[in-house]
Amino acid sequence: MVLFVVFALIAIVAAVGVIISRRPIYSALFLLLNFASLAALYIMLQAQFLAAVQVIVYGGAIVVLFLFVVMLLGGGELNDIRDTNRPFLQRFGWQRFVAVGLGVLMVAGLGYGLVTGELSAVQGDPAAFGQGSVQAIGSVLYTDYLLPFELASVLLLVGMIGAVVLARPPE
Amino acid sequence: MDWINLVLIPGIKSVILVVVLLTGFAYATWLERKLIGRFQLRLGPNRAWPFGLGHPIADALKMIFKEEIIPARADKLLYVIAPALAIAPALLIFAVVPVGPGITLFGQTISLQVADVNIGFLWVLAVASVGVYGVILGGWASNNKYSLLGALRTSAQMLSYELPMGILLIALLLTTTLGTADGFGTLSLNQIVQMDRPWWLWLWIWIAFPFFFITMLAETSRKPFDFPETENELVAGFQTEYGSIKFALFYMTEYLHIIGACGVAVSVFFGGWRGPFVEQVPILGPLYFAGKIIALIFLFIWASASVPRPRYDQLLKFCWTWLFPVSLIYLAITAVIVTLA
């Protein structure tokens, strides 16, 4: 329990570090620290499979790509964002309010789940976590949650096609 | 009693593992220099002690006592952390590799594996994918364009070759469903080593080994795929600005990656510690295991001595347009075989 709190605090501090870091590369590294402490939290919840996948996907692939991009762009220090990047921020007028609204919605949803106990119900469920977690997750994913699972893959495909379209040279 | 099982035994096992790995590293460099010498019709190191066996110790002492330099414009924190970030995952990979059958000591059965976690397979993938950070950060923090290019090359190379490697490992995981009683398969390397699978399945598994070996060469950045350091293009790549013990740590990481990759490959493809009479004499297990690893390391050195280095774009093109589709086809055929069997 003590360790859980420690890792949760590390995760929060790292998440704050992502936002307030001046250098993009430190932001990416704080993100890595955040993902790593989340993986530690998963292990303490007996969800070893989730922890391993967290490290493989987020730690091993996504943050590496972030670092790759940051290095390609130079990775210099961000100047005072309020002065030099004002035109950039002005392009996001209404989007900022939408983002705040969505964030509030997410916090409300999480809070609702925690208060009603629907989110904490699976804690300690031997079928979902523990020794057989890989088998349990696999069988649930390919039976009960097959449609959301396939939809998620379609979503990823859309992302890939979008990236190809954006990166294509103009004709 | 509990703390003996939870703390003392894993602690002792870890210490032994680290000592053995570091000694293995030192003599892997010796083996490489000796073998490369022979491949090139030279004698190789032969000054210190018979057969040059003292060279690794002399090298280690030299590395430790060299002056440490931190470049003035480097990012000091990341520059110092990077070698540690590189070597820790390299040492951690071996934690899940079983080096022998359980032995009985003082009335207790001790498994010759630091951690028998049921996600051993994923552990290997996770630790291997995190290992790239040391190189990337080291190259970036040095504030040197050659280092940066080396770091960029590392990240692209690692990400690309992780795909075929992961897909080949998924295919091998599928074959474990034929070896477990409940038909679910397993992710534990210990169980994978111990399970019995039909001989024709082994033949099919070995077909994957050449492809897996190519991805191993790329993931460990070994010649002919040593693009992070390509000495004739990038001076020494990501480690150009490193000297003294920090350079030694990067050097160690390279060899520990080789030993770790060989340990995993031996467990997955060649039955780990298994061999004749190992049930009667358990102590033979680690010897077989070491023998198989040394044979694979020899293969690594052989490849580095005899295959020229391609161009970097050829490396990536080869991965995405040939190796990746081939591994997907292999996965599909394996799925058919496993379903029909």
| pLDDT, tens digit (0-9, with 9 covering 90-100), for B153-188 | 888 888 888 889 889 988 888 888 777 767 677 777
Chain B residues with CB-CB distance to A72 below 8 A: 152
* Rounded distance between C-alpha atoms, residue A90 and residue A118, angstroms: 40
Q: CA-based angle A154:A155:A161, to the nearest 5?
A: 85
* Rounded distance between C-alpha atoms, residue B222 and residue B300, angstroms: 8
pLDDT score for B197 = 79
pLDDT digits (tens, 9 = 90+) for B12-41: 888 888 888 888 888 888 888 888 888 888
Interface confidence, given as ipTM, is 0.76
What DSSP string describes A41-94?
A: HHHHTT-HHHHHHIIIIIIIIIHHHHHHHHHHTT------TTTTTHHHHHT-SH
pLDDT score for B328 = 92
Structure tokens, A100:
């705040």
pLDDT score for A105 = 93
Looking at CA atoms only, how far is residue A60 from chain B in angstroms?
Answer: 5
* Rounded distance between C-alpha atoms, residue B94 and residue B127, angstroms: 10
pLDDT digits (tens, 9 = 90+) for B41-50: 888 888 888 8
The mean predicted confidence, pLDDT, of chain B is 83
Interface mutation vs chain B, best among A43, A65, A68, most B CBs within 10 Å:
A68
Per-residue pLDDT band for A64 (boundaries 50, 70, 90) equals: confident
Chain-centre distance for alpha carbon B117: 19
Chain B residues with CB-CB distance to A31 below 8 A: none
pLDDT score for A79 = 54
For residue B103, the SS3 value is: strand
Structure tokens, A75:
């990775």
Cβ-contact B151, B225 below 8 angstroms: no
For residue B51, the SS3 value is: helix
Of the candidates B303, B257, B341, B320, which has an alpha carbon nearest to the alpha carbon of residue B25? B257
Interchain CB distance below 8 Å, B125 and A64: no
* Rounded distance between C-alpha atoms, residue A33 and residue A106, angstroms: 23
What is the DSSP secondary structure assignment for residue B185, as one 8-state letter?
-
pLDDT digits (tens, 9 = 90+) for B288-336: 888 889 999 999 889 888 888 888 888 889 988 999 999 999 999 988 9
pLDDT score for B47 = 83
Closest residue in chain B to residue A36, using alpha carbons only: B130
Q: Tell me: pLDDT of A71 over 90.
A: no
Q: Tell me: pLDDT of A118 over 80.
A: no
pLDDT score for A76 = 57
pTM: 0.81
Residue with the two structure tokens 């031997």 = A126
Residue A48 touches chain B, beta carbons under 8 Å? yes
Residue B244 touches chain A, beta carbons under 8 Å? no
Interchain CB distance below 8 Å, B140 and A25: yes
In order of start, what are the domains of chain A with their CATH numbers? 1-78 (1.20.120.1200)
Percent of chain B with pLDDT over 90: 6
* Rounded distance between C-alpha atoms, residue B113 and residue B223, angstroms: 30
Of the candidates B339, B309, B317, B15, which has an alpha carbon nearest to the alpha carbon of residue B156? B317
Q: Tell me: pLDDT of A133 over 90.
A: no
What DSSP string describes B137-178?
A: HHHHHTT-HHHHHHHHHHHHHHHHHHHHHHHHHHHHHHHGGG
Please classify residue A8 by burial: count the beta carbons closer than 10 Å to its beta carbon, then call 0-12 exposed, 13-18 middle and 19+ buried. middle
> Which A residues 127-156 touch B at CB under 8 Å?
131, 134-135
